[in-house]
Structure 1
Amino acid sequence: MAHAIEAPASTTAEGPTSHTPNQTAKTGGALAIRPDQTAWTPEQGAVLRQSGIKDQVTPAELSGFLHLCQRTGLDPFSQQIYLIGRFSKKDGREVYTPQTGIDGYRVIAQRVTAQTAGSYGYEDTVWCDASGRWRDVWLADEPPAAAKVTVIRNGQRFSAVATFREYVQTFPDGNPKGLWAKMPAGQIAKCSEALALRKAFPHDLAGVYTAEEMDQADNTAPMAAPRDFIAEAKNAETAAIVRVVWMNAKHAGAPDDVLNRIGAIGAEKTAAEQQPTPDNDTAADEVVEAEVVTEDSDTPEQPAASLDEMLDKLFLQAIENRFHIDVLKQIAGAARAEKVIDMEVEGPPPARERMTLGALIDLLLADAQAANAERNAA
């Protein structure tokens, strides 16, 4: 639900009232944030909208931002702190988070130090190259691998290291963009300083991050190259592997013309594998005799119609849900127990060539293992 940035007028015992000029003067202007303020005023809300905050911002995000401004003493109307929206797939909307610059961190650190009569300072910033060697000045053309900043507060050292690869803002092709391309050493040093300051002033800087730290949140993931299922089918060594490719393509939502092309490739490979040769004529005869013996054995027969229905359901579930490997192994065990593991059945679409039930289960196992590998890679 959208929420407009506005707040009710303040109230007195007599009822709602508006801010008078005298009241405004006492608080330092219409945009000044009062310590006892619990919601943004209409005037403040109007300026926040102009800064880029949309009506989709939630009341909780606005209330949290007000509290943070009061706690840190940073002024959103002087661009010391701002609320940045970034689209979240999880929430289906722009999620707003407080953000400041490194100067805002320094202002808070100096103010807190003055208020507590303490002290704070820095050691020299150092940068690290890819080999792990630290330098007190960065002169190389390539970006540093990391930067280290040490803050000293009340005599205690607070060090922090920020690596370039974790914070760099990039284009979709992976190349640095903006100041990360022009001044990489300065940008990563700011991130390291922010980390060190947050260690030194945890209460005062909790909940707000610097712009340099959040730049990487805007990175666009590179588009993955589309999977070429037809090429995989052409390069497959056997027709059985082509059937696995067809199942993967079906599961990935490939169009019918791609599935048909893969099916044609599978049919070609099946035909090539079934071509008789002088060396296997005898073996073929033996297979025929073995099949005749099997038919005369005590192996129980099943009605063809019910078996076909079962197999069609098996194909559908395997393609749509990717059978778990353990489930397929249980099916294989049951088939052996029922003495139907060597029964010839119709293979998966589109070719539907004849194979044993054991070969079919092995095929589905290969598909399930490929799916499991995909999930682990993701």
Structure 2
Amino acid sequence: MAYAIEAPAGMMAEGPTSHTQNPVAKTGGALAVRPEQTTWTPEQAAVLRQSGIKDQVTAAELSGFLHLCQRTGLDPFSRQIYLIGRFSKKDGRDVYTPQTGIDGYRVIAQRVTAQTGGTYGYEDTVWCDPSGRWRDVWLADEPPAAAKVTVIRNGHRFSAVATFREYVQTFPDGNPKGLWAKMPAGQIAKCAEALALRKAFPHDLAGVYTAEEMAQADNLEQVQPRVTVVQSTAPAPRRDFLAEAQTAGDADAVRALWQEAKAVGAPTEYLDQLAAIGRAKAEIADAEATLTVHAADDGSDRSIPDNAKEPGSAAQVAAEAGADPLDRLMEQTQRMWENADALGQIREDARIHGQLDRQVEGPLGSWLPLSELLTTRINELKASQGGGEQRAA
């Protein structure tokens, strides 16, 4: 099925067309683009800069844009055509390229047909699936592999095929973005239509591309830095924050590790594990601060003051000298009996101080090594919380 637009007979022959009849050029006002002007007026330049054109734009780029607006008859101040900057590593700056939408292409095609005579129309758009089968409507959830548009001008067919992979605009991870994710069939059809129109109207559409066609140019700046990094830099070793937290001196050190892990994007579950270790260390420190030390000479009791928590302090040295390490560990175990993370830290502390094999009294009155008591209790707590967790080593 095809449809066409006819122009009055007896008009100009095919070729580069004059747009002196363009209503944009004939209207008044400070922003009107006129056929005779050779540079942008101060008023026009001010509006162009407000549209996002930076000071880096060159005089040649602005002059070329003015000439293109005059030749195509598209109005930059009605957003029919615009100048887009993309950073170029070669030039070290934004390089500006004229762009229009597919509607701008259609305006030019209709205007040229009206001026030159003849006809202009389309055959039905078709889409191709990954197997190579063409369809006249696209209903699948996944994007089509390609689209085909045929423009008929003066009885001649101008067909073009655009493949999705060549034009799709993507995020750095490769997923389609914007309308390419929401309306993939429509976007690739626009690219195919632009290709076909440029074949049918080569003189009038030369030098200007549609936004849909140029979208993939943004992918190059996204992908190139990533490729460079992969080629020149080995992946950094993964940091084990949990292991560092287990051997950290106190809760403040674990808190600092938590902040570092968060800064590098650690998942919430990982951060929760770090927080649990920090809480366990804080609870152990609080328990140590309230232990009662029995003096060896007179049997009197004295509580460890707060400064005993400071590593190497005189009070801490005196406390450790006056108490059996096993008594201290058992006191901590009793206080932390319901906290698997704290019991794990106590077990690590017992290993460091060579107390794992010391015999202690278990819950049922039987005697067993401290390591077995702690391991059994940790497994019980984990089984009650999540079930089926791997037994602690």
Q: TM-score, normalised by structure 1?
A: 0.53
Pairing of 1:66-81 with structure 2 (within 5 A): 66-81=66-81
In the alignment, which residue of structure 2 is the partner of 1:188?
A: 188
Give the distance between the partners of 2:174 and 2:45, measured in 1 at CA: 38
Q: Could you say if the C-alpha distance between residues 87 and 228 of structure 1 is closer, same or farther in structure 2, counting changes exceeding 3 Å? A: closer
Pairing of 1:330-345 with structure 2 (within 5 A): none
Amino acid at match of 1:170: T
Give the distance between the partners of 2:144 and 2:26, measured in 1 at CA: 50
Would you say 1:215 and 2:222 are equivalent positions?
no
Pairing of 1:101-116 with structure 2 (within 5 A): 101-116=101-116
Quote the offset at 1:118 in angstroms: 1.5
Give the distance between the partners of 1:228 and 1:171, measured in 2 at CA: 21
In the alignment, which residue of structure 2 is the partner of 1:227?
A: 234
In the alignment, which residue of structure 2 is the partner of 1:166?
A: 166
In the alignment, which residue of structure 2 is the partner of 1:133?
A: 133
Give the distance between the partners of 1:149 and 1:229, measured in 2 at CA: 48
Which secondary structure state, in structure 2, belongs to the residue aligned with residue 221 of structure 1?
helix
In the alignment, which residue of structure 2 is the partner of 1:303?
A: none
Q: Could you say if the C-alpha distance between residues 146 and 116 of structure 1 is closer, same or farther in structure 2, counting changes exceeding 3 Å? A: same
Give the distance between the partners of 2:209 and 2:130, measured in 1 at CA: 27
Give the distance between the partners of 2:89 and 2:79, measured in 1 at CA: 28
* Residues matched between the structures, number: 207
Would you say 1:96 and 2:103 are equivalent positions?
no
| Structure 2 contact 167–213 (Cα < 8 Å) conserved | yes
Give the distance between the partners of 2:100 and 2:112, measured in 1 at CA: 17
Q: Could you say if the C-alpha distance between residues 26 and 123 of structure 1 is closer, same or farther in structure 2, counting changes exceeding 3 Å? A: closer
In the alignment, which residue of structure 2 is the partner of 1:251?
A: none
Q: TM-score, normalised by structure 2?
A: 0.51
Cα offsets for 1:53-75 (capped at 9, x unmatched): 11110010000000000000000
Quote the offset at 1:194 in angstroms: 0.1
Give the distance between the partners of 2:133 and 2:93, measured in 1 at CA: 43
In the alignment, which residue of structure 1 is the partner of 2:143?
A: 143
Which secondary structure state, in structure 1, belongs to the residue aligned with residue 173 of structure 2?
coil
Give the distance between the partners of 2:173 and 2:119, measured in 1 at CA: 45
Give the distance between the partners of 1:108 and 1:208, measured in 2 at CA: 11
Give the distance between the partners of 1:136 and 1:115, measured in 2 at CA: 32
In the alignment, which residue of structure 1 is the partner of 2:47?
A: 47
Give the distance between the partners of 1:127 and 1:138, measured in 2 at CA: 7
Quote the offset at 1:218 in angstroms: 1.0
Which secondary structure state, in structure 2, belongs to the residue aligned with residue 98 of structure 1?
strand
Q: Could you say if the C-alpha distance between residues 26 and 155 of structure 1 is closer, same or farther in structure 2, counting changes exceeding 3 Å? A: closer
Give the distance between the partners of 2:164 and 2:26, measured in 1 at CA: 47
Which is greater in Rg? 2
Give the distance between the partners of 2:122 and 2:197, measured in 1 at CA: 10
In the alignment, which residue of structure 2 is the partner of 1:59?
A: 59
Quote the offset at 1:27 in angstroms: 5.7
Amino acid at match of 2:187: Q
Pairing of 1:1-378 with structure 2 (within 5 A): 28-219=28-219, 220-221=222-223, 223-224=226-227, 225=230, 226-227=233-234
Amino acid at match of 2:196: A
Which secondary structure state, in structure 1, belongs to the residue aligned with residue 196 of structure 2?
helix
Which secondary structure state, in structure 1, belongs to the residue aligned with residue 87 of structure 2?
strand
Q: Could you say if the C-alpha distance between residues 37 and 165 of structure 1 is closer, same or farther in structure 2, counting changes exceeding 3 Å? A: same
In the alignment, which residue of structure 2 is the partner of 1:15?
A: none
Quote the offset at 1:227 in angstroms: 2.8
Quote the offset at 1:138 in angstroms: 0.4
Quote the offset at 1:26 in angstroms: 8.1
Amino acid at match of 1:43: E
Which secondary structure state, in structure 1, belongs to the residue aligned with residue 138 of structure 2?
coil
Give the distance between the partners of 2:143 and 2:44, measured in 1 at CA: 41
Runs of 5+ in structure 1 lacking a partner?
1-24, 231-378
| Structure 2 contact 162–192 (Cα < 8 Å) conserved | yes
Give the distance between the partners of 1:27 and 1:117, measured in 2 at CA: 25
Which secondary structure state, in structure 1, belongs to the residue aligned with residue 77 of structure 2?
helix
Q: Could you say if the C-alpha distance between residues 56 and 124 of structure 1 is closer, same or farther in structure 2, counting changes exceeding 3 Å? A: same
Runs of 4+ in 1 over 2 A off after TM superposition: 222-230
Give the distance between the partners of 1:130 and 1:42, measured in 2 at CA: 52
In the alignment, which residue of structure 1 is the partner of 2:248?
A: none
Give the distance between the partners of 1:191 and 1:27, measured in 2 at CA: 32
Q: Could you say if the C-alpha distance between residues 100 and 229 of structure 1 is closer, same or farther in structure 2, counting changes exceeding 3 Å? A: closer
In the alignment, which residue of structure 1 is the partner of 2:303?
A: none
Q: Could you say if the C-alpha distance between residues 51 and 228 of structure 1 is closer, same or farther in structure 2, counting changes exceeding 3 Å? A: closer
Give the distance between the partners of 2:112 and 2:66, measured in 1 at CA: 19
Q: Could you say if the C-alpha distance between residues 199 and 229 of structure 1 is closer, same or farther in structure 2, counting changes exceeding 3 Å? A: same
| Structure 2 contact 26–34 (Cα < 8 Å) conserved | no
Give the distance between the partners of 1:26 and 1:218, measured in 2 at CA: 36
Q: Could you say if the C-alpha distance between residues 134 and 80 of structure 1 is closer, same or farther in structure 2, counting changes exceeding 3 Å? A: same
Q: Could you say if the C-alpha distance between residues 27 and 178 of structure 1 is closer, same or farther in structure 2, counting changes exceeding 3 Å? A: closer
